[in-house]
Amino acid sequence: MIKRLFLLLFLLVAFVYQSRAQDQTQLADTLIINGETIIMLGDSVIILRPEEPVYWKKGGNFNLSIQQVSLTNWSAGGASNMALNTGLNLFANYKKDKKIWDSKLTINFGFNRQSDRRFATRKTNDNFIFLSKYGRELSERWYLSTQIDARTQLLAGYRYFRPGGAERDSRNRISDLLAPAYIQSSTGLNYKREFKNDDKVSIIGSPFTGRFTVVMDDSLSRAGAFGVIPGEVVRAEAGMSLTSSTDIQILENIRWKADLNLFSNYENLGNMVVNFNSVISMKVNKFITTRIETILIYDESVLITRSDKPPGPAIQLQNLINFGIGLEF
C-alpha cells in the first residue's frame, strides 16, 4: 500500500514539473532590433521581419482576336478575307506619403485583308496613347496634379476611293506616325477616389493647359493638315481642360473603363476638342474575353473628306467588338 502511495506521489510530482517546464518554454523573450522582432522560445529563435511597404502597382493586359474566311468555288459568292485586332495596355502607379505618380500606355492595332481587291491589306485600328500624372496630396481625395497626355498612331493611314469611271480603287495618304501627334500638358486640381472593390474615379480640372499639334510629315505639313499653319510643324494652343478616368466593375465578370478629355482654346472658348475612349471587358474565363471598344473624337481643326459634302469638321467614331484571347498580368 505504501509503495503504491509513493508511486502515485512520484507520478503527480513528475506531472506538475513537466507542466511547469512546458509553461516556461511557452514564455518567450521578445527583442526588437532595427524594426525586426526576435522571439526566443526555448532553444528556438524566431525572427519576424516587418512587411516592406509597397509603393508601386504594375500590371496590364493583352488581347488578340483573329478571323479568317476562306472560299473556293463558293456558289453563294463572297470573298476570302482575314482580320486581326490586338491591343496592349500597361500601367504603373506609384504612391508614397503624399505623392502619387500614375502612368498608363495603350496601344491598339488591327487590319483586314481581302485578296480580290487592290490594296488588299487595309488598316482598321491604330492608336497609341500615353498618359502620365504626378500629384501632391492636399487632402484625403484632392491633389494638385500635372498631367501629360500624348496621342499618335503607328502606321500610315489612307483614304480609299474609286474615281469616276475607274474599275479599281485609289488611295490618298492622310496621316502617318507623328502626323498628327497631340501632346497636352495640364496642371490643376485632381479629385481621386479608390473604392474597396478596386473601382477608381479620377477627375482633373485645369485652367492652365497647353496643347500642341505636331505634323512631322512634310507633305501633310505643307497642306496645313490638322490645323497647323501650312509649312509649319507644330501648332501651339493655350486653354483649359477637363479630364476624367473611370474604372468600374459593373457585374462580376464585366468591367468598364473610360477616359474623357475635353479641351477649349482661350482664343475660341466654347469650341471643344473631345477625346472619349471606352472599353467594356466581359471575361468568359481566365483566357477568353469579349471587348467592346468605342472611340469618339471631335476636333474642328481636322477636316474630314466626305463624298456627299465638302471637307469639314465631323464626329469621328470607331466601334470594335472583339472576341478572343485576353491575358491579365
pLDDT in tens, 97-142: 999 999 999 999 999 999 889 999 999 999 999 999 999 999 999 9
Task: Give the Cα separation of 131 and 223 in Å (integer).
Answer: 29
Check pLDDT > 60 for residue 9. no
- Give the pLDDT score at 292: 95
Task: Give the Cα separation of 152 and 130 in Å (integer).
Answer: 9
Contact 197, 209 (CB under 8 A): no
Grid cell 493611314 is found at: 157
Contact 194, 203 (CB under 8 A): no
- 43/178 same-domain check: no
- 143/27 same-domain check: no
Buried b (16+ CB within 10 A) or exposed e, 202-241: bbbbbeebbbebbbebeebbeebbbbbeeeeeebebebbb
Residue 324's domain is classified under what CATH number?
A: 2.40.230
- 191/63 same-domain check: yes
Q: Tell me the average pLDDT of the chain.
A: 88
Contact 21, 49 (CB under 8 A): no
- Give the pLDDT score at 311: 87
**Rounded alpha-carbon distances, angstroms, from residue 64 to 127, 174, 324:** 15, 27, 6
Dihedral sign, Cα of residue 325, residue 319, residue 256, residue 96: positive
Tens digit of pLDDT for each residue in 134-154?
999 999 999 999 999 999 999
- 226/284 same-domain check: yes
Contact 80, 45 (CB under 8 A): no
- 157/217 same-domain check: yes
Which residues have CB under 8 Å from 217's CB, separation 6+? 176, 178, 179
Residue type, 138: L
**Rounded alpha-carbon distances, angstroms, from residue 88 to 31, 106, 267:** 49, 6, 37
- 42/61 same-domain check: no
Beta-carbon count within 10 A of 58 CB: 11
- 116/148 same-domain check: yes
- 34/97 same-domain check: no
- Give the pLDDT score at 27: 47
Check pLDDT > 80 for residue 55. yes
Give me the phi and psi of 91, to 5 degrees please.
-140, 150
- Give the pLDDT score at 286: 86
Which residues have CB under 8 Å from 133's CB, separation 6+? 100, 101, 102, 103, 145, 146, 147, 148, 190, 204
- 84/175 same-domain check: yes
Check pLDDT > 60 for residue 25. no
- 14/43 same-domain check: yes
- Give the pLDDT score at 4: 56
**Secondary structure percentages of the chain, helix, strand, coil, to 5:** 10, 60, 30
- 211/287 same-domain check: yes
- 60/43 same-domain check: no
**Once rounded to an integer, what is the mean pLDDT over residues 141-170?**
94
**Residue 43 is part of which domain span?**
2-47
Task: Give the Cα separation of 287 and 325 in Å (integer).
Answer: 6
More confident residue, 83 or 7: 83
Which residues have CB under 8 Å from 143's CB, separation 6+? 100, 135, 136, 137, 189, 190, 191, 192
- The number of domains in the chain is 2
Task: Give the Cα separation of 174 and 215 in Å (integer).
Answer: 11
Check pLDDT > 70 for residue 316. yes
Tens digit of pLDDT for each residue in 232-262?
999 999 999 999 999 999 998 999 999 999 9
